[in-house]
Amino acid sequence: MDAALVKSLQDQGLDFELDKDLSTMSSLGTGGRAECLATPHHIGQLAALLDLADGHGIPVTVVGSLTNTLVSDDGIRGIVLSTRSIRGIVIKGDLLTAYAGEKLDEVINRAIGHNLSGLEELGGIPGTVGGATFGNAGANGKDISTYFFYSDYITKDGRIRRMPSYSDAFSYRHSPFTDDDIILSTAFRLIPNRDTAESRKRKEHFKQMRMEKGQFKYPSIGSIFRNPPLLSAGRLIDEAGLKGFVHKGAMVSPYHANFIVNAGGATSRDIWELSQIVMTAVERKFNITLEYEIRMLGKFD
């Protein structure tokens, strides 16, 4: 990385690491190195970082906490900007605003603690509010869009904007944001609820269901494929006989066939190759082409 840029990053007091091994950050435990991983702590630092990167012609790739992203073993050139350290939760009445780096699960706990309900079904989804908003994360019949009110975001050329809620902004695991947008915070309009104990019980129930389904038995990045309309990707993979199938260090989870897990020593290439094997098998058996739900960063084929 350009020495002048490194000096400017230091001068700005930015938190960054050069040649950072991203496998240590990914929930899958795979992936190559980032030329530079920068973790700004507030919006001023983030804006300064974008300005510097632009001035030096360095590409910026945005991530949260890498629980839904397959990072190429070849690594990522330029700056990987993680919003995981931009933290804070503000609650006014029934409006809860969470900064992008807050863990979604913690946001749900805070909401419940303030007698606000609605997000319990998303209990136990790992990752940050930024990542969850970008991917419209969801579970048990609800998703981020259900209580989304607005997000403040900054574009890579430094303009701060507000994304309001509008009718078809979000769809299944899809939000209106593009790779040029960096989500700073998301405001949720929640439901006032006096029965905190009941909400907490519901949330813990949904979280517990994940544990019982073995979602955390192996390192993973969640469901690999989108469910085709009216179908379950996991069931198709299971019926194609692939549950528990091992390819190098990667394995189709024996608990949930739509998870491809790190069974020990996997590379991102192993995960990607197994995902291609799965796609081919499902296509052959059912004539259905699965589409990726996970995000991929860097080169794979």
Ligand X SMILES: Cc1cc2nc3c(=O)[nH]c(=O)nc-3n(C[C@H](O)[C@H](O)[C@H](O)COP(=O)(O)OP(=O)(O)OC[C@H]3O[C@@H](n4cnc5c(N)ncnc54)[C@H](O)[C@@H]3O)c2cc1C
Give bridge partners of residue 91 from the DSSP assignment.
96
| Single residue of 128, 199, 227, 267 touching ligand X by CB under 6 A | 128
Q: At 149, list the tokens.
A: 């009110």
From CA 152, how far away is CA 93, in angstroms rounded?
A: 19
Binding characters for ligand X, 94-123, by CB under 6 A (x = yes): ------x-----------------------
Across the strands, what pairs with 165?
A: none
Q: How far is the CB of 162 from ligand X (least distance, A)?
A: 14
- Total residues contacting ligand X by CB under 6 A comes to 33
Catalytic residue among 120, 173, 220, 268: 173
Task: Label residue 262 exposed, middle or buried (CB < 10 Å: 0-12, 13-18, 19+).
Answer: buried
Q: Which residue number, 63 or 290, has a Cβ lying nearer to ligand X?
A: 63
Query: Residue 222, interface with ligand X (CB under 6 A)?
Result: yes
Work out whether 185 is an interface residue with ligand X (CB under 6 A): no
Instruction: Give the side-chain half-sphere CA count within 13 A for 192.
Output: 3
Q: Least CB distance from residue 285 to ligand X, whole Å?
A: 25
Minimum gap (Å) between residue 224 Cβ and ligand X: 10
Provide, rounded to whole angstroms, the least separation between the CB of residue 28 and ligand X: 8
Q: From the list 31, 64, 118, 234, which residue makes contact with ligand X (rule: CB under 6 A)?
A: 64
- Contact pattern from residue 231 through residue 270 relative to ligand X, giving x for each residue in contact according to CB under 6 A and a dash for the rest: ----------------------------------------
| Residue 62 φ then ψ, to 5° | -95, 135
- Known catalytic residue: 173? yes
Q: How far is the CB of 62 from ligand X (least distance, A)?
A: 5
Can you give 57-75 as a three-state secondary structure string? CCCEEEECCCCCEEECCCC
Residue 183 in contact with ligand X, rule: CB under 6 A? yes
Structure-derived torsion over alpha carbons of residues 65, 186, 103, 8, reported in degrees to the nearest 10? 50
Instruction: Choose the binding region for ligand X from 49-57, 67-75, 197-205, 284-292 (rule: CB under 6 A).
Output: 67-75
Known catalytic membership, residue 102: no
Per CB under 6 A, the list member of 138, 234, 249, 298 interacting with ligand X is 138
CA distance 296 to 301: 12
Q: Which residues contact 182 (CB under 8 A, 6 or more apart)?
A: 46, 50, 62, 81, 83, 100, 130, 153, 154, 155, 156
- Our finding on whether 67 is near ligand X (CB under 6 A) is yes
Residue selected from 8, 39, 45, 65 as contacting ligand X according to rule CB under 6 A:
65
Contacts to ligand X from residues 269-288, by CB under 6 A: none
27 carries an active-site annotation: no
| Residue 210 vs 285, nearer CB to ligand X | 210
Each as own residue / partner, the long-range contacts of residues 232-239 (CB below 8 Å, 24 or more positions apart, any chain) are 232/258, 233/257, 233/258, 233/282, 233/290, 234/258, 236/282, 236/285, 236/286, 236/288, 236/290, 237/278, 237/281, 237/282, 239/285, 239/286
Which candidate, 285, 275, 187, 182, places its Cα nearest to that of 231? 285
In this structure, what DSSP letter does residue 210 have? Answer: H
What are the catalytic residues? Answer: 173, 223, 293
Under the rule (CB under 6 A), what is the footprint of ligand X? 27, 62-69, 83, 100, 125-128, 130-132, 134-135, 137-139, 177, 181-183, 215-216, 220-222, 295
